[in-house]
Amino acid sequence: MRPVALVTGSSRGIGLAAAVELAREGFAVAVNGPFDDDELSAAVETVGKAGGSDMSAPFDVTDIACHDVWLQRIEDKLGPLTTLVNNAGVGVLQRGDLLEVSEASWDRCLAVNTKAMFFLSQSFAKRLIARERPGALFHSIVNVTSSNAVAVAVPRAEYAASKAAAAMVSKTFAVRLGEEGIHVYDVQPGLIATDMTAPVIEQYENRAKDGLTVLPRVGQPEDMGRIIAALASGKLPYTTGQVISADGGLLIPRF
Q: At 79, which CATH number?
A: 3.40.50.720
Examine residue 252 and state whether it is found in any structural domain, yes or no. no
In a domain, 70, yes or no: yes
**Domains identified in the chain, total number:** 1
Task: Give the pLDDT confidence of 223-253 residue by residue, as tens digits.
Answer: 999 999 999 999 999 999 999 999 999 999 9
Residue 52: pLDDT above 80?
no
pLDDT over 70 for what percent of the chain? 100
pLDDT of residue 131: 94
Residue 113 maps to a domain: yes
Residue 65 lies in a domain: yes
Q: Tell me what the pLDDT averaged over the chain comes to.
A: 96
pLDDT digits (tens, 9 = 90+) for 148-187: 999 999 999 999 999 999 999 999 999 999 999 999 999 9
Contact 42, 16 (CB under 8 A): no
At 255, the pLDDT band (50, 70, 90 cuts) reads: confident
- 159 as an active site residue: the answer is yes
254 part of a folded domain:
no
pLDDT confidence of residue 57: 98
Cβ atoms of residues 46 and 20 within 8 Å: yes
Q: Containing domain of residue 52, as a range?
A: 4-246
Q: Classify residue 199: in a domain, yes or no.
A: yes
Alpha helix positions (H), 130-200: 157-177
Residue from 159, 185, 204, 238 carrying the catalytic annotation: 159
Residue 251, domain member (yes or no): no
Single out the residue of 221, 186, 195 nearest to residue 14, CA to CA: 221
For residue 253, being part of any structural domain is answered with: no
